[in-house]
Every structure is written in C-alpha cells, then in structure tokens.
Structure 1
Amino acid sequence: MSDPAAPFPRPAFELPVRGGAYRRPDTQTLRDLERVSSATACAKLHGMGITRSFVEGPRPLAVGQRVVGSAITLQFMPQREDLASGHGQEYVERHTALWHVLEEVKPGDVLVIQAFGSRYSGCIGDILARYFVKKGGVGIVVDGRIRDSDRIRELGLPVWSTGTTPHYASQTELFPWAYDVPVAVGGALCMPGDVVIADGDGPVIVPQAMAGSVLETAADHEDWEAFSRRRLDEGARLSDYYPLTPDSREEYELWRSAQAFAR
C-alpha cells in the first residue's frame, strides 16, 4: 500500500510552457486603429465572417479608458498537485509563466489572460502591473479577476477584468501555466500578435492578418457616423442619415472633402 504522506510522483513535464515565435503588428497600423471603436471593429469583423471577436465578461476598471495594442498572451490552467499548485505563494509564482511573460513585454503590448472567469484568482496585482507599465505595456484584458485594484487604478493602466479579489494568482484553483500561446478569453480566441481594441463597450480581438482590412473599412464608417451625428443634432431625419442614403452619402463626401481641406 502506498504511503499517503509520500510526495506525488512528478510527470516528466516542464513548466512554464512557451509557444512559438510570432510577429507583432506594425506600429503604424496600431496607431491608425486608435480612431476605431471596439463596436465598429466588431461589426466590420462580423461582416468579414469573424463572428466571435468580442471578449464577453471583462469590464473596464475605470471610466473612459481605451487601448489599442498587440496581444501578448498568458494562460492559466487548473492546479494539479503533482504538477503545479499555489503552495509557497509568490516564491512559487516567480518561476511560472506569470513572471516569464512580463519579461517578454514590448512597448505597445496588451496582456491578454485566460483565467476561465475565475472569481478567486487575482491574476495581476500592483507590483506586477507596475513592472508591466515600466516595460511599455499599455493595457491588460483578463477573463478573470485582479487584485490591488485601487493601486492599479492609480497607475492609470487600462484594465478590463471580471472583477476584483484579495487572492494572489495561484491561491485557489488556477496556476500560471503557459505564455505566447493561443488563449480563450470570454468566448473569443486570441493569438499572440493579434490586435486588441478595448474601450467602454469591452475588448475586441482583431486577427493580425485582418487588421488592415478592418482599418480600411472602419475609418470611413467612423467618419460618416461623425457626420451623421452632426446632422441629427441639427435636426435631420434619422432615416436620411443613419445609415446614409445615396443623397446623404454625396453630402457626406462633400463634407469630408471640406474637412480634409480645412486641415
């Protein structure tokens, strides 16, 4: 009979897991996408056949926050005592994917974290968030909780999460397992290097190869909606300006030309 107090036999499996190399989107594309809302990006992707781009669940930590950046990914997995558990707190975590992914952050990155909507795992806290900002990170999207929320809010770092908790990352049922790998967040797939557009409506994942097409169609959409808002505020009929009719489209084109000339 085996001794129940004996250590678990450990499988021949090394942690953390790291995915393969990937390329980030070019900085000009990210800069141009800053004018595109998550709602417009989501709608344009839907028209192109990508129907699951919205990260359902995470909400903004602060009112008015917005970010556009390149996805760098972190995957939590369920704990299993023979492989990974949270005993030892941060002294264990410093050797996990959570610490490793932060060393890979580049300016303009958005950290996207798969945490299964856990209500108990505080995937990011104040100290790690500060280091993330120092490395040039611009936002965090986590399908789960954060801790030290007041201090993170003071940092001015845009964060989308499902809530807050006092727990540290591996205190309960999850463990930081892998980085630079595909992750599932709020029902959406995010690949390393995809574009994240997040604002008050929530985060949207734009496949990197489709970012240029989204930008091309969304820029015109954002412009004509701005024109339509102006005309509706002036008393115009909704059916004439949302969406544009052939006549109001012609009026919009003249308005847009005048705006460009004024610049």
Structure 2
Amino acid sequence: MDDAIWDLPVRGSLPAAPDPALVAGLSRISSATACAKLHAQGIRRTFIEGPRPIAPGQKLAGRVRTLQFMPQREDIASGLGQEYVERHTALWHVLEDIRPGDVLVVQAYGSAYTGCFGDMLVRYFKRRGGAGIVVDGRIRDLPRVSGLGVPIWCTGATPHYASQAELFPWAYDVPVAVGGSLALPGDLCVADDDGAVVVPLRRAASVLDAAADHEQWELFSRGRIEEGATLSDYYPLTPETRAEFERWRDVKESQ
C-alpha cells in the first residue's frame, strides 16, 4: 500500500478500562434483562440483530473493542495477496492490541462472503485474553474455531478469508454499526443465547441497579405462578403484589 491515497488502518480512541466490578455485575444478568432495562431508560436500539452463538450456553460481558470493514475499492485496498496484505490492516492491528476481557464487535454488513475470523486469528485472540467476539457477518474454519472455546456470535460460516470478497478491514476503535445498533469503543456488551446487547458505559450502573430489582421480583412472581396465582396479578406486579413482594424480599434479606 505504498501508493495508497488513504492512510490505513484508521484508528480511533479507546476510553479507559471499565470498573471490573461493573463488568462482573453485568456478567450475572441476561441480555434480555439488559435490553429491557435500557429500553425503560429510552435507549431502544441495543440488540445486535443477526449474530447468533456458535454454541449453546455461551455467555459474556466485557468492554467493547470495535473493528470496521468497509467496501473494497481497488485503488485504495483490495484482497489481493491475502494474509500478506491483511496483516497490515485494522484486523491484525486490533488483534495485536486486544486486552484481557475485551469483546471484539465487528461491522461486516451481514456479508455472507467475508470470513472475518478463522482458526489462527481466533486462537491468537484467545491467547491475548479476549472475552469473546460478536460479528455482524461470518467466520471460517468453524469446526476448529468451535473447539477453541471462545464465545462467538456470528451470522454463519463461509470458506472465504477476510478480504476475499467485497469488504476490507478498514478501521478499529471507531464507532461501528452492527445489526442495526451503534457500538462505541469502551461501551460494554452482554451476550447469551438470546443474542448480544450493547450497554452504553454511562448506563451500565443504572442497568445493574434496575436488573437486581427486576430479577428478584421475577423470582418471587415465578414462585407465585407455580403455586397457581393469576398471571396478571404477578407479571408484571400490581401495586398490591408489589407490596407483597417487598415484604417477601425483606424476609429473605433478614434470613
């Protein structure tokens, strides 16, 4: 890329690492709860539509690092040369800078022809201590990648390498659009079998506070419904059953 007309890769900025207690708290709540509590605060587009877990039972929470693919334009960048070109791109650069606990969130437009990661790259990501990967696109080497134990959400598999088709690894630690959601470097991500959710860093503490109350009253309501109570009385709580729940919670906390 000696004669490139645009300097690549583009690198943005990365905020300081979040409080580990915040990440630990988010790891204990579901993506559904995080999504619902953000929606109650007016943050509506947090679900990353499209990517699914490559194995059931995966769960993660961590700081968002971002990778942005862009359409190829041959006078700037193409996939010719495969790894010899790719290792100078944002893809290699972000992997070299992954910190323990980071979640790599990737904008790839849901492309069926771009294998954003394969065995070697995921293996290196794991060695760097990455917590997991959420790709609005596909991966390759699926059997070997599945055996590495790295939590990954993606839209499927492809035999292509990262720059073989219409996209090119362009930038990292920049805002990205993934599955209809905006993810910023330094945001947090929660993901499980229901999918992946972006949690704005400044909202994380309030999400945790709301989630603690929500999960407690759901536990209470679940028990009452199992005992034969009416759904509309306990899900959601009415003012009367809310008072009942608070008495139940007080007893539990005093035990």
Scaled by the length of structure 2, what TM-score is found? Answer: 0.95
Instruction: Report the secondary structure of 1:29's partner residue.
Output: helix
Pick aligned residue for 2:45 from 47, 52, 62: 52
Which residue of 170, 174, 177 corresponds with 1:184? Answer: 177
Q: Classify the secondary structure of the residue corresponding to 1:85.
A: coil
Question: Quick one: distance in 2 between partners of 1:9 and 1:31?
Answer: 45
Match of 2:31 in 1: 38
8 Å contact kept, 2:11–2:174: yes
Do 1:74 and 1:112's aligned partners in 2 also have CA atoms closer than 8 Å?
yes
Task: Please list every run of 5 or more consecutive structure 1 residues that lacks an aligned counterpart in the other structure.
Answer: 1-7
Q: Which residue of 2 aligns with 1:118?
A: 111
Distance 1:160 1:247 in 2: 41
Task: Answer yes or no: is the 8 Å Cα contact 2:48–2:197 preserved in 1.
Answer: yes
- C-alpha root-mean-square deviation of aligned residues, in Å? 1.6
Q: After alignment, is 167-176 or 18-27 more displaced? A: 18-27
1:97 to 90, 93, 105: 90
Match of 1:77 in 2: 70
Q: What amino acid maps onto 2:186 in structure 1? A: G
Is 1:66 aligned with 2:59? yes
Classify the secondary structure of the residue corresponding to 2:113. Answer: coil
Residue identity in the other structure for 2:77: A
What runs of 5+ residues in structure 2 fail to find an aligned partner? none
- Mapped to 2, the partners of 1:168 and 1:131 lie a distance apart of 16
Amino acid at match of 1:189: L
The CA distance in 2 between the partners of 1:88 and 1:178, in whole Å, is 19
Q: Which residue of 1 aligns with 2:164?
A: 171
Match of 1:5 in 2: none
Map 1:86-235 onto structure 2 (within 5 A).
86-235=79-228
Paired with 2:226 and 2:126, the residues of 1 have a C-alpha distance of 40
Question: 2:14, 2:186 within 8 Å by CA — same for their partners in 1?
Answer: no
Stretches of 4+ aligned residues off by more than 6 angstroms: none
Distance 1:233 1:13 in 2: 62
Per the alignment, in what secondary structure is the counterpart of residue 120 of structure 1? strand
Task: Look up the equivalent residue of 1:126 and give its one-letter code.
Answer: D
The aligned amino acid for 2:48 is V
SS at match of 1:164: coil
1:7-18 to structure 2, matched below 5 A, reads 10-18=3-11
TM-score by length of structure 1 reads 0.92
Query: Is the CA contact (8 Å cut-off) linking 1:102 and 1:132 kept in structure 2?
Result: yes
One-letter amino acid matched to 1:87: L
Distance (Å, rounded) in 1 between the aligned partners of 2:252 and 2:119: 44
Share of identical aligned residues, percent?
Answer: 64
Instruction: State which drifts further: 17-26 or 179-188.
Output: 17-26
Conservation of the 8 A alpha-carbon contact between 2:46 and 2:182: yes
Distance in 2 (alpha carbons) for counterparts of 1:9 and 1:20: 25
Instruction: Provide the rounded CA distance (Å) in 2 between the counterparts of 1:258 and 1:129.
Output: 48
1:241 — aligned with what? Answer: 234
Does 2:247 correspond to 1:254? yes
Aligned to 1:4: none
Bigger strand share: 2
